[in-house]
Structure 1
Amino acid sequence: MKKLLTFTVLLGAGLIVFGCKGDPTLPRDVKNYDDPLMQHEKEISGIISKMTLEEKVAMLHGKHMFTSEGVPSQGIADMVYADGPFGIREEMEPHSWNSLHLTTDSATFFPTGSALAATWSDGIAYLYGTGMAREARLRGKDMILGPAINIQRIPTGGRTYEYLSEDPYLSSVLSVAYTKGVQNNGVAVCVKHFALNNQETNRGSVNVIVSPRAMREIYLPPFEATVVEGNAFGVMSAYNKINGYWCAENYELLNSILRKDWGFKGMVISDWGGTHSTVESVVAGLNVEMPNSQYLGQALLDSVAAGAVSEDVIDERVREILRVRLAVDPVPENKANVEMTAKPEQAQIAYQVALQSIVLLKNEGSLLPIDLNKVKTIAVIGDNADKIMATGGVGAGVKALYEITPLAGLKNRIGDKAKIVYAQGYTSQQARGGFGGFGGGFGGFGRRGGATATPAKPDDTAKKLQDEAVKVAKSADMVLFIGGDNRSHETEGSDRRSMDLPYNQENVLEAVAKVNPNVVFIAVAGAPVDLNRVQACCPAIVQSWFNGTEGGNALADILTGESSPSGRLPFSYPFNLEDSPAYATGSFPQTDAPVNQDVFVSLVQEDSKAEEMLKGATGRGTALYSEDMLVGYRWFDTKQKPVMYPFGYGLGYSEIEYSDFAADKSEYRDGEVITVTLKAHNKGKYVQCDVPQVYVHRVDSKIEWPYKELKGFTKTVIYINPDPTDVEIKIPVESLKYWDEAKHDWVLEPGKIELLLAHDAGNVAGKVELRIEN
């Protein structure tokens, strides 16, 4: 792997660090030449032959909350799972959600999924995976419950922050790299949630209706790539139904597609509380019911005794588990949790991810980077400036060893070069109810992370905070307004009702901008927020994220010019929520059912509603994917609907120009690889990481297509040099096929295509016309 670099340029009399500090390249020698899952078949046959039926069935369900049974009689260790995908959760009591309160289980909080996606870097994703695996090993974990790679179908999705992108190709590249980073360091992944868990509203009961082509071309490619190219050892079935069948017992999904079409040899575990049957689940390909044994325990033994399930099926499910178990060396219990989980090396990885994820959306008048020779007083305003994001809301969180907030990062980096004055501006204490975060177990259910004691009257509090913010802004040379969402507002278990900025932020921001026009708005969020009023009063806008342990330091380095921003949006930023495809077609939110208590929340609470939910009550809503393949930018392009910021968008402190875009041939056939080249010119004063993107547009096609689709990109360091940087991007012709629903197969359509070189989905810089032949 290439060493992480720090680029320097000499400006004036001082040596100053700029650029993206290097973009590590995914090692090209990382390939699965010998499938580790298939190295022990003879040994596994011997193990199974010595097992009783009871021992076999004991492996097919939860033993503890995050453990499933091994084969104690033959010295085969239990499988120990680590939640979740952006940090190793603290240790809990075996049969509850209560913390063990250890002193060694504080972990690194890695930036969440949409932040990783915003790096557009497979090298960074690989590093991310290595960091996760190293900390999982310290904790004795065998399998990480991640990466989470469902397509971001709706801007308001409760897990948009955790997922990667609205685009299947970008998601695929990053999820494969993440998976290799984890599994090459001794830990299995459990890629989730398979499949089409694209909303949190009624996710435990909703029936997703989707066309086979849209499913194959939009929603399944990240899973397919992670299984086929990344050789993922584990897959987690989703809560929802697809075309009438629960994912945990969906024969087409788990058997026909996953195991037969993709050749998956590993194990499938259910989402927690996501199993609904005995015979159907185990026959369809579910290996482990988590976290209990309602269906794959005694009920399965009874089903075998009654002849409803063959023991051969049980043996196959056990074999698939043992393949993973023998491919991952267990950590002896006496070597787990003996030293602090969080390590400086992982914190550095988290910093690199955060640094390369930050997206500069607007920079009128070159307000950024902050010129500390002129700016002597900086007003930092906003609740998010001093709020931690490792926990909050429902779902996985991290008991972080530390977390650098934006305010702390600015103080660290600026020191005595300027005076920083902080005003809270608004409070997030009025957030809707939810978990206090896994970081403290579930004892905080019903409260929000960051909540305070009984507040004063809301109007009085809001006015007081706004007045303080205005006062601070008046006397400052510049305002950094740090707003957006938080981990309680964007949360697993429910979707946001709108993209609106919560907690009175916009009113405070507009009041501040009236007294000081030099306002930079920083959106700390995992998903799009409404920026219409922000745009009107802020000359500079930055998209930050739930950016991990070192997020504040990374943000400060971008704002002060230590590094030039290189993040690109992994999703489209619509002007209005109603413009986005699922809302425009009226397919979300569903109106045929009330919003019910979430299945996972019910499980955790041991609520009386849980039993009904887990049995799969019907009539809870149908999600008809009416937009079909036109998800995200595909919709906006095809419908010619303008967006505020397009997919792939992001500015830097240097302008990059492209020229000499060309392909190595004019005609290609199936099995070949299209190689395109271009020259990138750095027109500024900063070393700049840039992301040239190549989209494909079909010319005179007889098949219905989106207007264009991303098929290639690379993240490249563009130096300050009179000579341009040569860039090469490869596109396999295989990736241009479509799913023919009649043939039930991938088909290559012959004809003309245009390759579009672009800075982002809305800014095409060059075209090349090619011909595809069968």
Structure 2
Amino acid sequence: MKNKIITLSVALAVLTFTGCKTKSNMVDAPVSSENKQAVPFEGKELSGEFDATIDKIVDQMTVEEKSGVLHGTSMFNTAGVERLGIPELKMADGPLGVREEISRDNWSSAGWDNDFATYYPAGGALAATWNTEMAYTFGNSLGQELRARDKDMLLSPAINIVRTPLGGRTYEYMSEDPFLNKKIAVPLIVGLQDNDVMACVKHFAANNQETNRDFVDVQIDERTLREIYLPAFEASIKEAKAYSVMGAYNKLRGEYLCENDYMLNKILRDEWGFKGIVVSDWNAVHSTVKTLKNGLDIEMGTNAPFDKFWLGQPLIDSAKAGKISMEEIDKHVKRILHVLFQVKAMGGKDRAKGSIATEAHYQDAYKIASESVVLLKNDNNALPLKLDGVKSVAVIGNNATKKNALGGFGAGVKTKREITPLEGLKNRLPSSIKINYAEGYLERYEEKNKGNLGNITSNGPVTIDQLDPAKLQEAIEAAKNSDVAIIFAGSNRDYETEASDRRNLKLPFGQEELIQKVLAVNPRTIVVMVAGAPFDIDDVSKKTSTLVWTWFNGSEGGNVLADVLLGKINPSGKLPWTMPKNLMDSPAHATNSFPGGKSVTYAEGILVGYRWFDTKNITPLYPFGYGLSYTTFAFENAKTDKKSYTADETITVSVDIKNTGKVDGKEVVQLYMSKSDSKITRAAQELKGFQKVLVTAGNSKTVTIQVPAKELAYYNVKAKKWTVEPGNYTLKLGNSSRDIQKEVIVTIK
């Protein structure tokens, strides 16, 4: 959303680290479905029990009252009709937590002292857990906070595909893969809506860049649209039963997406059976009669006086002039009232009360973050840190103290708790160990090329990458005079931001030089990247023996990171996107089809993310699904329940996972599908199943993954339907897209 910002429930024990690398001091959040197929998450259908009541209410409404229900009459609310018992529909931003209260008619803070909220890990971090239970926890915890703030709709989750590593909203979006996207999105939405609130799933659809997002016309072939960019949205409607969807800014095939009949009527409602409401992104509406007829229900925005919105006075005038029928207007009003009844904002039923910024919710944030941290490199088992003989630790880097709950251009959260990495280490290291902190690099931008936040034709801010000599020297001295050094580098939410894409993948602020100079004086240096999107860390990866990736990771992020470094948590996060060696290896850039101008053609087609790298035999720096552990795992006895299946059956795949190391840990079993003799163009492999499992040291667990044969289908453009091609399929089991351990061949009849 084009918003201006002002510049999680199981508690885990916090133990003092003893320095011993044994399984007794590994703390892990449990996986509820370790040894069996998880129960599918299913949302609640919109009820039709209120139809007669709604008809009576709408019959009594004036055209002016109907118009008020159909557009924003304050920054985040639509109008109510007090005499008929219709409340305002109250919305809140919330990808990282429920946004602070702002004024009704401008972006300034409302100045409340009771709107502090929990800061939850960003979407990329949630996807990196590869754990559907964590997604439900995220949604449910956040839904409780939304209700405590007396809101009806959360403008989240954002589930657009990560098409380019440069994307300004990659930190908020979840993955480059449609299957992982939908498997995380569905339980999140179900958990959220279990609290009598609406999820608003965004941005529908093909909204994959910030550059020119207000007007860029996306040209995309039908098979690519269906196989890559729509599956998570379809699952959100059909499985999670999402109550609302947000239309995107951009155009698709010449039509703005908030007035796109093909997308909003033919696909969303006619094909998928969506009965909820479509809300515009802020200032994304361009017409009155067309936008309503083509499927939008609520217009939101901020640029004009509220009554001047397209669905304000212009709608009233259009109705009185006979340009639009009252029957058409009533259809949209009734949809809105249906959802208000569904979430018990109307109808007099007891509604969830919720709670906010509670210790239980901070521990929800901890639990999610604890499964998101990705161990990229750990030569010589330098991690977890062994503290025997360690008297001092150098903590280096601006990111050790940078807070990310607020920042950039977009929705943040006002919170009373955001544990930074430095604070986390202070909380967790024994008091006998001295911490030598040095800022190392300064976060600085060129004023004239700051990247005009909100000017979406910009390509991000230009950073000042020269190190300050005094800061550099301070960092070198701290590293020299400490037994261990930890550098916190990467990004922040001022640099990765909505409304602009990054200019390149280079580490900003001179960080690469800082890392090299610290490594030169203290070989016992750990490099930690804090970021939401890929960076060019090829040289850093070659030079350092230990590399950890963490995210904009919520209120407890610093404590989680310290617990990972010290071994209280065995890292189990996996990358939800591909980390390229070079930007030009990525498909949107290799095909020279980003960012386009007035129009952008998705020239890579279905080969998005790892599909491109695997099909074109391009080696990434770190592949999709990659992440190490402090233990090791072996895959054994892979098999299916049968050898052949019909297209209507479900394939049951099982594999034994043995923990061959000395500490308990979690592994993500990933199942990819490949069909080498296909009569159609396919990617080399596609993710079709995954499950996270906790295995204690020395023991084995059998993991079972069920794959409906229909998941193997491709979209048949000629027949306009999903088609399962008969023949042999190879099911590949591994712990990343580039580390396949076992294969099983099945036949679809």
Q: Would you say 1:743 and 2:719 are equivalent positions?
A: yes
2:589 aligns to what SS in structure 1? helix
Mark the runs of 5 or more structure 2 residues left unpaired by the alignment: 1-8
Q: 1:588 aligns with which of 579, 594, 601?
A: 594
1:7, 1:18 within 8 Å by CA — same for their partners in 2? no
Amino acid at match of 1:653: Y
Q: TM-score, normalised by structure 1?
A: 0.90
2:52 aligns to what SS in structure 1? helix
C-alpha deviation, 1:299, in angstroms: 1.1
1:408 alignment partner in structure 2: 423
Q: 1:381 aligns with which of 386, 396, 404?
A: 396
Q: Would you say 1:125 and 2:131 are equivalent positions?
A: no
Superposition pairs of residues 480-629 of structure 1, within 5 angstroms: 480-590=486-596, 593=597, 621-629=598-606
Q: Would you say 1:43 and 2:53 are equivalent positions?
A: yes
1:306 alignment partner in structure 2: 321
Q: Would you say 1:88 and 2:98 are equivalent positions?
A: yes
Q: 1:725 aligns with which of 692, 701, 711?
A: 701
Partner Cα distance (2:527, 2:631) in 1: 20
CA displacement 1:548-569 (0-9 Å, x = unmatched): 1100000000000001000000
1:367 alignment partner in structure 2: 382
2:671, 2:689 within 8 Å by CA — same for their partners in 1? yes
Amino acid at match of 1:466: L
Partner Cα distance (2:465, 2:65) in 1: 59
Amino acid at match of 2:126: L
1:392, 1:435 within 8 Å by CA — same for their partners in 2? no
Larger deviation: 208-217 or 307-316? 307-316
Superposition pairs of residues 430-469 of structure 1, within 5 angstroms: 430=445, 433=450, 462-469=468-475
Partner Cα distance (2:143, 2:705) in 1: 30
Q: 2:82 aligns with which of 65, 69, 72?
A: 72
% of aligned pairs identical? 43
Q: Would you say 1:269 and 2:279 are equivalent positions?
A: yes
1:663 alignment partner in structure 2: 640
Amino acid at match of 1:650: G
1:232 alignment partner in structure 2: 242
CA displacement 1:163-222 (0-9 Å, x = unmatched): 000000000010001001100112110000001110000100100000010000000001
C-alpha deviation, 1:24, in angstroms: 4.4
2:208 alignment partner in structure 1: 198
CA displacement 1:664-705 (0-9 Å, x = unmatched): 111111221110000001011211111000000013110110
Mark the runs of 5 or more structure 1 residues left unpaired by the alignment: 438-445, 452-456, 594-620
Q: Would you say 1:243 and 2:253 are equivalent positions?
A: yes
Amino acid at match of 2:541: Q
Amino acid at match of 1:558: V
Partner Cα distance (2:365, 2:72) in 1: 32
C-alpha deviation, 1:85, in angstroms: 1.7
2:266 alignment partner in structure 1: 256
Superposition pairs of residues 2-17 of structure 1, within 5 angstroms: 16-17=24-25
1:736, 1:748 within 8 Å by CA — same for their partners in 2? yes
C-alpha deviation, 1:311, in angstroms: 1.4
Larger deviation: 540-549 or 341-350? 341-350
Partner Cα distance (1:208, 1:747) in 2: 26
C-alpha deviation, 1:13, in angstroms: 12
Larger deviation: 39-48 or 732-741? 39-48
1:604 alignment partner in structure 2: none
1:16, 1:562 within 8 Å by CA — same for their partners in 2? no
CA displacement 1:8-38 (0-9 Å, x = unmatched): 9999899843153223459838534x62343
2:730, 2:743 within 8 Å by CA — same for their partners in 1? yes
Amino acid at match of 2:512: E
CA displacement 1:46-96 (0-9 Å, x = unmatched): 221222222212111001100012332211111100102221011111000
CA displacement 1:309-362 (0-9 Å, x = unmatched): 121111111111111111112399xx99x9983111111111111111000000
2:87 aligns to what SS in structure 1? coil
2:371 aligns to what SS in structure 1? helix
Amino acid at match of 1:489: Y
Partner Cα distance (2:291, 2:23) in 1: 63
Partner Cα distance (2:240, 2:644) in 1: 30
Q: TM-score, normalised by structure 2?
A: 0.93
2:198 alignment partner in structure 1: 188
2:205, 2:247 within 8 Å by CA — same for their partners in 1? yes
1:254, 1:285 within 8 Å by CA — same for their partners in 2? yes
2:671, 2:734 within 8 Å by CA — same for their partners in 1? yes
Superposition pairs of residues 472-487 of structure 1, within 5 angstroms: 472-487=478-493
1:20, 1:565 within 8 Å by CA — same for their partners in 2? no
C-alpha deviation, 1:381, in angstroms: 0.6
Partner Cα distance (1:122, 1:532) in 2: 31
C-alpha deviation, 1:307, in angstroms: 2.5
Partner Cα distance (1:733, 1:108) in 2: 40
CA displacement 1:267-311 (0-9 Å, x = unmatched): 000000100111110001100100244211111122222332121
CA separation of 1:684 and 1:10: change in aligned 2, threshold 3 A: farther
2:180 alignment partner in structure 1: 170
Larger deviation: 389-398 or 368-377? 368-377
2:245 aligns to what SS in structure 1? strand
Partner Cα distance (1:587, 1:339) in 2: 46
CA separation of 1:436 and 1:518: change in aligned 2, threshold 3 A: farther
CA separation of 1:103 and 1:331: change in aligned 2, threshold 3 A: farther
C-alpha deviation, 1:370, in angstroms: 0.5
Amino acid at match of 1:769: I
Amino acid at match of 2:262: E
Amino acid at match of 1:154: T
Q: 2:30 aligns with which of 5, 8, 22?
A: 22
Partner Cα distance (2:319, 2:152) in 1: 29
2:209, 2:595 within 8 Å by CA — same for their partners in 1? no
1:278, 1:296 within 8 Å by CA — same for their partners in 2? yes
Partner Cα distance (1:38, 1:633) in 2: 43
Q: 1:755 aligns with which of 719, 723, 731?
A: 731
Q: 1:350 aligns with which of 365, 382, 398?
A: 365
1:601 alignment partner in structure 2: none
1:372, 1:417 within 8 Å by CA — same for their partners in 2? no
Q: Would you say 1:398 and 2:375 are equivalent positions?
A: no
Partner Cα distance (2:253, 2:13) in 1: 51
CA separation of 1:13 and 1:392: change in aligned 2, threshold 3 A: closer
Q: 1:427 aligns with which of 442, 445, 461?
A: 442
C-alpha deviation, 1:536, in angstroms: 2.5
Amino acid at match of 1:187: V
1:596 alignment partner in structure 2: none
2:623 alignment partner in structure 1: 646
1:519, 1:538 within 8 Å by CA — same for their partners in 2? yes
CA RMSD, aligned part only? 2.6
Q: 1:693 aligns with which of 658, 670, 675?
A: 670
1:135 alignment partner in structure 2: 145
Superposition pairs of residues 310-349 of structure 1, within 5 angstroms: 310-330=325-345, 341-349=356-364
1:361, 1:650 within 8 Å by CA — same for their partners in 2? yes
Partner Cα distance (1:387, 1:566) in 2: 24
